[in-house]
Amino acid sequence: MNEAGATIVAGDVREASRPITRGAMLYDASLGGHADDRWFDRDRWGERGASERQAGGRGTVVFLRDDARRWVLRHYRRGGAVARLLDDRYLYTGGDRTRSFREWRLLRELSMLGLPAPRPVAARYRRHGIFYRADLLTVELPSRLTLARALAAGALPSERWAEIGRCIGRFHAHGVRHADLNAHNVVLGHAREVYLLDFDRGRIETRGPWEDAVLARLERSLVKVTRELPAGRFGGEQWQLLADACRRA
């Protein structure tokens, strides 16, 4: 990355970069307006009454609304046992290797491919000694209804399970490997749309056995989130519909 700032045009997302205090940021220059490090300031958005916090996953997602902007801000945090020690700090090995920059660029590729995933707005990192902290801004999807929440509300029709499978299959057809596909980052749209969220540590690679591993992870998640729900929300029949549609896509 050019520390003085650079612009790379690809499809309808124009990658630009610029240095900030103790770090750097990437942003989509095609969105217009001046790229501002204050975009990542949750308190500033809150003071303007333009933010809504939603707990979930390893941290808190903030929905930002200001005029025509409908963005989602996520701060990177660790999971598992290491979270107690490092929380939101990651070892710095170069700007292009930061979690936020890598995910932003993957989302840019997905946007170019026309896949149903959030469009990237901006990403940043800030160094703190040998560590860094990171944030990601994306355009808000048309729906917030996750598969987990939909199942908590009621059973899904057979065609919905097939639509979810076809969506995942589209990503796999392009070699897109989701690192943590679960019932909380599959989003159901208002009609037949299905979206995938959270591509942290995701990548594009040659198709292979990893596709079955991604599906197996999702299946385990579905078993977990429906364990205490009424019968009929998820089982072998629903999973077969999803898996078959995925492999045919």
| Percentage of the chain modeled with pLDDT above 70 | 92
Residue 249, pLDDT above cutoff 80: yes
The domain spans of the chain are 6-139, 147-248
Confidence of residue 55 (pLDDT cuts 50, 70, 90): low
Average pLDDT for the chain: 91
Identify the pLDDT of residue 136. 97
Domain 147-248: CATH superfamily is Transferase(Phosphotransferase) domain 1 (1.10.510.10)
Identify the pLDDT of residue 91. 97
Distance CA 135, CA 76 (A): 6
Ordered DSSP codes for the chain: --TT-EEEEETTEEEEEEEETTEEEEEEGGG-S---GGGG-HHHHHHTT-EEEEEETTEEEEEEEETTEEEEEEE----STTHHHHTT-EE-S-GGGSHHHHHHHHHHHHHHHT-SSPPEEEEEEEEETTEEEEEEEEEPPS---BHHHHHHH-PPPHHHHHHHHHHHHHHHHTTEE-SS--TTSEEE-SSS-EEE---TT-EE---STHHHHHHHHHHHHHHHHHTTSPTTSSSHHHHHHHHHHHHH-
Which has the minimum average pLDDT: 38-42, 90-94, 223-227? 38-42
Identify the pLDDT of residue 155. 98
Identify the pLDDT of residue 57. 53
| Percentage of the chain modeled with pLDDT above 90 | 78
Residue 100, pLDDT above cutoff 80: yes
Residue 198, pLDDT above cutoff 50: yes
Q: Which of 37, 41, 88, 180 is catalytic?
A: 180
Confidence of residue 56 (pLDDT cuts 50, 70, 90): low
Confidence of residue 6 (pLDDT cuts 50, 70, 90): very low
Range 98-108 average pLDDT: 98
Identify the pLDDT of residue 66. 82
> Catalytic site residue 180?
yes
Identify the pLDDT of residue 109. 97
CB atoms inside a 10 Å sphere around CB 26: 29
pTM exceeding the 0.85 threshold for the entire prediction:
yes
Range 75-86 average pLDDT: 82
